[in-house]
Structures are given as C-alpha cells and as structure tokens.
Structure 1
Amino acid sequence: MSETRRSGLGQDPHALSGTRDYLLEVAIGREVHAFRAKLGLTVSDLAAAAGLSNGMLSKIENGVISPSLATLQSLSSALGVPVTALFRRFEERRDAVFVKAGQGLAIERRGTRNGHQYHLLGHSGDRSSRVVVEPYMITLTAESDVFPLFQHDGLEFLYILEGEVTYRHADKLYVMQPGDSLFFDADAPHGPEELRQLPIRFLSIISYPRDER
C-alpha cells in the first residue's frame, strides 16, 4: 500500500466523506487524529515521534493519502496503540434504516383511537450504543375532546409539517405551525392541547439512555 496522494480534494470534508474509494484512508486519518488529541500531542509532536514530516502527518489525518504499513506501524508505536486500532472506525458496523413514504411501522399509543396515527420511521441504538433514537411521523386527523399526555425518559424534538396545534409541555402552551419546532425534556407531561387546524402532521424524534428504559 503506497503513500499515494489524492489530488483535487484538498481539505474538503464533504469530498472526503463522499468518496467511496478512500473510506479506509478517511477512517485511519480520523483515528490518528483522535488518538493524538486524546494524548494532547501537537502535529509536530506526533510527526517527530513517528519520524514523519508535519505535512505528511496532516495529509494522513485528513485522509488525502494512503499511508504505507511501515508508516502505520510508526504511528501506532508513537501513539502507544496496536496497528489494528487505527482501522477501528472502518471495521465498525454502521447501520441505516430506509423507509419508503407511507411505509413506517404503525404504533399503537394512547390517542390512536381518537384519530391520532403514529408511524415509527426507524430505530437506532444497538446493544453497543448507550442511546436509543426513535423517529416518528405523527398524524392527527380527527377532532377529539380527549388529548393524551405523555411522560417518559429522555429528550424529544418536534417539527411541524402541516396544520396547526397548541402543544403542551409541563405548564406551558405553544401554538405550532409548519416550520415550528420544539425541543424538550420528555420527563415532563406533554402532548397536544388543541387541534387548531386539521390535518396535523409532525415529526417527533425521541432519544433516551438505553440503561434507563
């Protein structure tokens, strides 16, 4: 594996992230940078310890070259970590959930019988993650005198897409229209207080610690 320079990409992080052929280099660069920062070393410090020039180390950290095995060994020795640690980000499994329009998983929650529809759009938080994230598309289509209040661990983010609703969080009321958002501690009672203009559609993203649920 030669130390080949990637031309034309410079320091553009979007170009680095979106270039399939260089995902390994980017992953290695991020690990080198993270270990260096953790140790409190400057670029000059690490470059000198690994026998590299400052420019070469900067290129490695920015993922613009493919470092040789000898260079990786020098870096791992200078950082005090095994060579395999520099490949950690590349080898980690990264999951993604794709949901076609209208195909989210329907969820039964309080209020469903009153014309409130909840569709789970994805779920993030495997056993190695300390945080679980649940994005919902919520649709309110029928007027009702009974509005459910929710209270649960974690944080919640709302973003209104359609309609108008007065939303309660604890003892405060918020009149929300398309484009409005609300971010709050979900441990306080919250939920729709008044359906002002139907239908109402909004995104609800809930996150909570895995060990508390």
Structure 2
Amino acid sequence: MDEQLKQIGERLRGLRDVLDLTAEEVAETCGIDVDVYEKIERGEVDITISKLMKIARKYGVSAEELMFAEAPRMKSYFVVRKGQGMSVERTKAYKYQSLASGFVNHDAEVFIVTVEPKPEAHKIYKNTHPGQEFNLVLEGSMDLFIGDKTIRLEEGDSIYFDSGKPHGMLAVGNKAVKFLAFVVEK
C-alpha cells in the first residue's frame, strides 16, 4: 500500500470524523460508490485531484490540507523555488507538485504534473471537474484525451479546455512528460 495514499485516506477519514459525516455523504460529494470511497480512506485505491478538490470545496478545507496536511498561510504572495513545491506521488505513474499550496484562498490550483510512460495497452482514466484547465508541456510529449478527441502535445505546446468534459493523459514514448496544470473551478 502506498504510504502517501494511506495518509490522504487518513486525512479524509479525520475530516469525516470532525464534521460527523458518513462515508456515504462524502462518496456522494465525489460521485463515487461508497465501497470505492471506503477503499480510498484505507489507502487501497487512488483518489483523483479533482475529487479531492470537490471534497475540499464542499467541506470548507483546502485541497492542500487533504493532500499534504498543511494549510495555506500566505496572503500577499507565495514563492516556490525550483523543485521545492509540496508534492504528492499519487501513484507510481503520477506526481503532482503544488505551486499555490501556501497561498490562502487561492482561486486556482496550479501543479507541475509528471506522468510516467505506460504500456500502449493501458486504459486511459478520464476525469472531470467543474471549470477550466490550462496545460503547458514543459518536457516530453503527451496525448491528451478530451471527450472523443486525442490531441498530441509536444514540449512548449499548451491547451486551455473545459475540464467538465472527460479528460485524461498519456505520456508518449519512453520518457516521462512534465507539464504545468492550471485548474480554475467555477
């Protein structure tokens, strides 16, 4: 069991306990089956960033508190030095480095996302969340799947899209892709 997934699950369980919520209520917030949610709390199943953001928004906490156990504190500005942002490796294939985690009440989630290459037969998991997303490829290349479209993005390419549409990504070739993800929820 991945230690970071286990810790996120423990924080979710703690939030539920503090707010006197049932697993069913939180699962409904995420739009997932309660059995899957309970596996997330046990650290047996990964949870997407967008589902963490839904929980955070609904219950008045920051997504960073759920991911990193740290609350934002800065109100005027927040600097992240190269390679120093708080990060979580949700699975062996995806690593998220937060660039806005220390700023109180930030209006957008900003991450550097690293996606490791997967075998061609790998199923692409598509996710949705309200709002819009901007991605800028920093290194490598990826296929971005939005609805039934596949868009190849190379280093330096960017895309802005409706994140309410099912979307997912896949690193192309045998090199990881690293991209800036800027998520603005409505």
2:152 corresponds to 1:184: no
Give the drift of 1:103.
1.5
1:139 corresponds in structure 2 to 114
Among residues 91, 111, 121, which one is paired with 1:113 in the alignment? 91
In 2, Cα distance between equivalents of 1:194 and 1:105: 22
* AA at the equivalent of 1:116: Y
Give runs of aligned pairs for residues 69-84 of structure 1, distance below 5 A.
Answer: none
TM-score by length of 2: 0.53
Alignment of 1:78-97 (within 5 A): 95-97=76-78
User: What letter corresponds to residue 140 of structure 1 in structure 2?
Assistant: V
Measured in 2, the distance between the counterparts of 1:183 and 1:116 equals 21
SS in 1 for 2:81: coil
- The answer as to whether partners of 1:165 and 1:197 remain within 8 angstroms in 2 is no
Does the 8 Å contact 1:116/1:142 carry over to 2?
no
Aligned to 1:150: 127
| More helix by percentage | 1
Partner of 1:99 in structure 2?
A: 80
Q: Structure 2 unaligned runs (5+)?
A: 1-73
Q: How many residues align?
A: 110
CA distance in 2 between partners of 1:175 and 1:155 (Å): 19
**Partner Cα separation in structure 2 for residue 196 and residue 133 of structure 1:** 30
CA separation in 2, counterparts of 1:125 and 1:192?
Answer: 29
RMSD: 2.3
CA distance in 2, matches of 1:125, 1:170: 33
Q: Percent identity?
A: 25
Offset, 1:147: 3.2
Distance 1:148 1:160, change over 3 A: same
SS of the residue corresponding to residue 136 of structure 2 reads: strand
Against the structure 1 CA distance between its residues 201 and 193, is the aligned structure 2 distance closer, same or farther, given a 3 Å change threshold? closer
Secondary structure at the residue paired with 2:126? Answer: coil
Query: 1:202–1:154: structure 2 CA closer, same or farther, 3 Å change rule?
Result: same
Q: 1:191 to 1:149 in 2, by over 3 A?
A: same
Letter in 1 for 2:99: L
| Unpaired segments ≥5 residues, structure 1 | 1-92
| Alpha-carbon separation, structure 2, partners of 1:187 and 1:125 | 25
Q: How does 1:7-26 map to 2 (within 5 A)?
A: none
1:200 aligns with 2:185: no
Query: How far apart, in 2, do the equivalents of 1:142 and 1:178 lie?
Result: 15
